[in-house]
Amino acid sequence: IPSTSRYQQNRVFLDYADRLSMKDGQDFQLLIGNVLFRKGDMFMYCDSAHFYEQSNSLNAFGNVKMEQGDTLFVFADELDYNGLTEIAVLYADAGKKVKLINKDVMLETDVFNYDLTIDLGYYEVGGVLTDKQNRLSSLQGEYSPSTKDANFYLDVHLNSMSENDTLDMYTDTLSYNTYTHIAELVCYTDIYSKDG
């Protein structure tokens, strides 16, 4: 509907699909080819999808991409978005990773949860975050693209991306800001360098 505002933060709009169909008794629309959804200023692309218009939810398949402005991109193979909780869960096919790219920051994991209400992404199955200066890996972690704050939990490892810097940190909890590149150690930490 052309007169409808497409910038309602709590609504998902279908902007485009090559083909749309819906069978009697089915509670979702089947969308195929160049599918494009919009939620506020977030765009979601995929090859095909099931769109549950009543609950404002969707399942997206193939070449999934979430895009916000020209700085935030998330790439995956499958996306499940719950319109009630406003949480998107993104999955990667075997041998691949879900990738979040926010300027110079890249986060990679197998399953990525993104809470759109508070702009927070998190993983619970192991992940790696890299920026210009450091690489951080952990079993669990979270990252906020708007504040650049990241928190890492369980089997945390920080190492410098610089060949001249031999710093390695091992801990169970670490806070980090990808803008300032400052790590805050909040529990027992082993720190190694070439000097000891």
- Residue 4 pLDDT greater than 70, yes or no: no
pLDDT single digits (tens) 88-123: 999 999 999 999 999 999 999 999 999 999 999 999
Average pLDDT, the chain: 93
| 23 or 10, greater pLDDT | 23
Residue 69's pLDDT band, with cuts at 50, 70 and 90, is: confident
pLDDT single digits (tens) 27-56: 899 999 999 999 988 999 999 999 998 899
- Residue 5 pLDDT greater than 90, yes or no: no
- DSSP per-residue string spanning the chain: -TTS-S--TT--EEEE-SEEE--TT-SSEEEEEEEEEEETTEEEEEEEEEEETTTTEEEEEEEEEEEETTTEEEEEEEEEEETTTTEEEEE--TT--EEEEETTEEEEESEEEEETTTTEEEESS-EEEE-SSEEEEESEEEE-TTT-EEEEEEEEEEEESSTT---EEEEEEEEEETTTTEEEE-S-EEEE-TT-
Give the pLDDT of residue 158. 96
| 8 or 130, greater pLDDT | 130
Residue 1's pLDDT band, with cuts at 50, 70 and 90, is: low
Give the pLDDT of residue 8. 62
Q: pTM of the full predicted structure?
A: 0.90
